[in-house]
Each structure stands twice: as structure tokens, then as C-alpha cells.
Amino acid sequence: MRLVILDNYDLASEWAAKYICNRIIQFKPGKDRYFTLGLPTGSTPLGCYKKLIEYHKNGFLSFKYVKTFNMDEYVGLPRQHPESYHSYMWNNFFKHIDIDPNNAHILDGNAADLQAECDAFEDKIKEAGGIDLFVGGIGPDGHIAFNEPGSSLVSRTRLKTLAMDTILANAKYFDGDLSKVPTMALTVGVGTVMDAREVMILITGAHKAFALYKAIEEGVNHMWTVSAFQQHPRTIFVCDEDATLELRVKTVKYFKGLMHVHNKLVDPLYSMKEGTEGDWSKILLE
């Protein structure tokens, strides 16, 4: 894995956004060649989404030839509910960019046949040629998407009942009222994300530190499902200092020492606008 450690949340978000931007542009997407992106929700990726929107608004990045697949969606919450993941993605990302609505895929938590909906989602991913880059986060209990502790590490998209840790963590989005938090969700499986050609996990904040430790310094364990990515050929963990608080000093020093290598992945920063390759900070300051 690559462990990319930035000083704070904003820098981590920016690094992640630059990486995604470069990957899309270097892929050279077009009419017959879509870039497929897996996307997360929650508070961690908000900074990254803001940066991507900024790059789009500046004309450097277009999502016209990008297909997206979100990781999960609550079951039983109306699509237009302000806390549904459809609303999250619309307000925080889709409405600000130029993606074709037909290419933005999110599981439907109100489908008549939930398992059929999950199977169809897997088919759509297959039809799109698989996922080029799956961006995800990590829960305080070490879960990826809603693959709660105990989920099979080869699982596929399915219905899951949420663990108490997750419900508690989500309560803040529902006025702190536990009874309002959905208890079930549709989620991509660990296996589904493992199938992606590349995986990027965003982890920020001290409350995620223990989960990060369990995910990368201990063994592969279905109680900490993010640990499955130790067996993925191309995984990047992007985190801030606070998220490394439970790691060994040795681990942190090693990966910090590699930052000059990691930074080559985001510098130079590519752009879809002609003549603007290179350091965007110079361009944006003009």
C-alpha cells in the first residue's frame, strides 16, 4: 500500500482530489472510453469533493466522460430526504459538475426487490468495464462502505443491517435521535471494492486512528474489513496527522519519508484546459 500522510484535513483532501484529477485526465476519457469512479459519502470526503468541484469550475476537469458508482445507500429513507445519500451526492457533488445523470449510479434503498437491485448494481459495474478507482472511507469500527465487522471479505453488493457503532456515528445527521437513524443499508461488498483496479481510502481525524491501526498494522481480519485491502495490488491510504495517532512511530516515519515519491503522483497536476499543465497554484493566483 501507499500511506500518504498530510499535515491536516485540508491538505489531505487536496492531495486526494489532485490524485483523482490526475488519474482521470491521464486516462484520457472520451466517448467510447469512460473513466469509472467509485464514490463515498460522509464527512471525510467533503473537502475532497469541494476541491474537485473547484477544479471543474476552473475548467481543468470535466466529468462528461466519467461514470460513478456510489458505495451505499440507506434502506427505507425517501430519496429526497435530506440525509439520503442521493441528496448528499446531489448537493455536495453532482449539482456542481457536468456529469451525465445516466452515468451517476447510486443504489436505490426503496427498490421493491432489494437483492435484485444489488445484483443489478453489480451488473452495471461489470457493463461499465469495472471500476478504475474506488474512493472510500473507513468507519470508526474499521468498516469499508457498510461492510460491518463480521462481513465476508469476499462479499458482493447486498443488504446489511448496521452495527450500533455505525448508528451512533450517524445519529449526528438525524438530530441526535437514534430512533430516526436507518438501521439497514444497501452496500457494495468488500469483494466488490477489491475488484477495482485501484483503491483510495480517505482517513482523517483522531477518532479514526484506531481503525487505521487495525486496518494496516494488524492482520487481515473480517472484524476490521478495511484490512482486506492489504491484499489489493494498488491501494492508497490518504490521511492526516491525527489519523496516524495509533500507528507505530516507525510506520509513520517510513511513509513520511516517502512523501517525495508520493508527491510525484500529484505534481505535475494535469488539466483538461490546453496550456495549463504544471503547477496550478501559479495559475490560480494570477
Partner 1 sequence: MRGGEGASRAPVLQLTNCRILRGRRLLREDLWVREGRILDPEKLFFEERLLADQRRDCGGCILAPGFIDVQINGGFGVDFSQATEDVGSGVALVAQRILSHGVTSFCPTLVTSPPEVYHKVLPQIPVKSGGPHGAGVLGVHLEGPFISREKRGAHPEAYLRSFEANAFHDVLATYGSLDNVRIVTLAPELGRSREVIRALTARGICVSLGHSVADLQVAEEAVQSGATFITHLFNAMLPFHHRDPGIVGLLTSDRLPPGRHIFYGMISDGIHTNPAALRIAHRAHPQEEPLGPSGGVPEPGCPHTPSSVPGGPYPPPPQSLPSLLSRHQDPVRQHSSDGRVHPAFPAGHRLQCGVSPGGCVAAPRPATGTGEAQGHPGLRG
Q: Should residue 100 be labelled a site residue for partner 1 when binding is judged by CB under 8 A?
A: yes
Q: Should residue 80 be labelled a site residue for partner 1 when binding is judged by CB under 8 A?
A: yes
The Cα 148–Cα 223 span in angstroms is 8
27: left (phi over 0), alpha (psi -120 to 50) or beta: alpha
Please report how close the Cβ of residue 106 comes to partner 1 at its closest, in angstroms: 8
Helix (H, G, I), strand (E, B) or coil at 71: coil
Q: Should residue 33 be labelled a site residue for partner 1 when binding is judged by CB under 8 A?
A: no
Residue from 2, 23, 50, 64 touching partner 1 (CB under 8 A): that is 64
83 as an active site residue: the answer is no
Q: 170-196 burial string, b = 16+ CB within 10 Å, else e?
A: beeebeeeeeebbbbbbbbbbbbbbbb
Q: Should residue 112 be labelled a site residue for partner 1 when binding is judged by CB under 8 A?
A: no
Please report how close the Cβ of residue 131 comes to partner 1 at its closest, in angstroms: 21
148 as an active site residue: the answer is yes
14 as an active site residue: the answer is no
Q: Should residue 186 be labelled a site residue for partner 1 when binding is judged by CB under 8 A?
A: no
Q: Should residue 219 be labelled a site residue for partner 1 when binding is judged by CB under 8 A?
A: no
CA atoms 103, 94, 28, 197: torsion sign:
negative
Q: Which stretch binds partner 1 (CB under 8 A): 80-88, 110-118, 183-191, 274-282?
A: 80-88
CA nearest neighbour of 215 among 154, 151, 160, 143: 143
Give the DSSP H/E element, type plus range, for residue 18. helix 9-27
The Cα 75–Cα 188 span in angstroms is 13
C-alpha cell at position 233: 495490488
Residue from 67, 86, 158, 222 touching partner 1 (CB under 8 A): that is 86
Q: Count the site residues for partner 1 by CB under 8 A.
A: 15
**Nearest to partner 1 of 81, 156 (CB atom):** 81
Q: Should residue 158 be labelled a site residue for partner 1 when binding is judged by CB under 8 A?
A: no
Q: Which stretch binds partner 1 (CB under 8 A): 42-50, 78-86, 231-239, 270-278?
A: 78-86
Please report how close the Cβ of residue 47 comes to partner 1 at its closest, in angstroms: 19
Helix (H, G, I), strand (E, B) or coil at 282: helix
141 as an active site residue: the answer is yes
Burial class of residue 249, CB neighbours in 10 A (0-12, 13-18, 19+)? exposed
Residue from 21, 53, 104, 211 touching partner 1 (CB under 8 A): that is 104
Looking up cell 483523482 gives 20
Please report how close the Cβ of residue 112 comes to partner 1 at its closest, in angstroms: 16
The Cα 30–Cα 100 span in angstroms is 13
Q: Which stretch binds partner 1 (CB under 8 A): 95-103, 118-126, 241-249, 266-274?
A: 95-103
Q: 86-114 burial string, b = 16+ CB within 10 Å, else e?
A: bbbbbeebbebbebeeebbbbbbbebeeb
Please report how close the Cβ of residue 107 comes to partner 1 at its closest, in angstroms: 12
Q: Which residues bind partner 1 (CB under 8 A)?
A: 64, 79-80, 86-87, 90-91, 94-95, 98, 100-102, 104, 106
Catalytic residue positions, numbered:
72, 141, 143, 148
